[in-house]
Amino acid sequence: MQEGTEGRALVAGVASLREPRTTMGGVNLVAGFRPELWRAIVPHESPATLEGFNRPIVGADFTMPATQHDAVLWISGSAYDVVFDVARQAIAALRDVARIAEETSSWPYHHDGDLTGFIDGTENPTLIEAPDLAVIPESGPGAGGSILLLQKWAHDAASWEAQPTARQESVIGRNKLDSAEIEDKPADSHVARTDQDLFGKIFRRNMPYGTVTDHGTMFVGFSSDQRRLVAMIGRPASMSSGPRSRLTRRRNSAGG
């Protein structure tokens, strides 16, 4: 927020933003707020235990930095020019109450691909199942909303691509061609350390970002229960029992 701005003014400004009303070249706009800010404005509309990413995730030899912001806007669309125009309009509308802390441009990569060359979101629930897992139910505070985990991971693509496919598959825990889970995968493979059967299902939509010389992945995870997200990011960093995910040795956590 801008210095001296009240949280209520920021929430009102973001709430006033609108997607363009068109059947051609439209965009989707997702907005979110730091839990503590949202709770101060509407105390009865936030899960009681929900909190921001206020402390770094620290493992035995690895740290995920905490870069919690007051608000987030995610603008997506089929054409970059429309996304660009809507983003500029949104920033102009909010200039009196907010400043840009970080801006990242993302794009789809080979349909559902990740910059590692593997298929992303293999374990995602179907679109029919997703609302039950990602949207807070009507019975509780924050009904209709979702809890977002957004992390930025920088890649060393040249180092990764220099590894033979078999070694890449060992790091991920899946076959590269068809994304089938490897039965005897290593305990420190990424799939083993982020097994949703252990901490619960979420809905994720990762997006590559950046340029040829500076790029990576934006991890986007939605859940109706923050405990699933906390467990999911703690295990790769070896906060709990077990080894650190080998994939975190090939990526650098740049914020979350």
Q: How confident is the model at residue 193 (pLDDT cuts 50, 70, 90)?
A: confident
Which letter does DSSP use for residue 141 in this model?
T
- The stretch 81-100 carries a mean pLDDT of 94
> In the beta sheet, which residues pair with residue 64?
57
pLDDT at 247: 86
Helix H or strand E encompassing 239: none
| Residue 145 in tokens | 């909303």
17-26 residue pLDDT tens: 988 776 566 7
Catalytic residue status for 184: no
pLDDT at 22: 65
Active-site entry in 81, 85, 114, 120: 120
Q: What count of Cα atoms within 13 Å lies in the side-chain half-sphere of residue 143?
A: 6
Residue 137's contacts (CB-CB under 8 Å, 6 or more residues apart) are: 143, 224
The predicted model scores a pTM of 0.89
Q: Where are the domains of the chain?
A: 108-255
123-142 residue pLDDT tens: 899 999 999 999 999 988 99
pLDDT at 241: 67
Task: Give me the chain's average pLDDT, please.
Answer: 89
First-last CA distance in the chain? 18
SS3 2: coil
Rg (CA), the chain: 19
Task: Give dist(CA 66, CA 227) in Å, integer.
Answer: 17
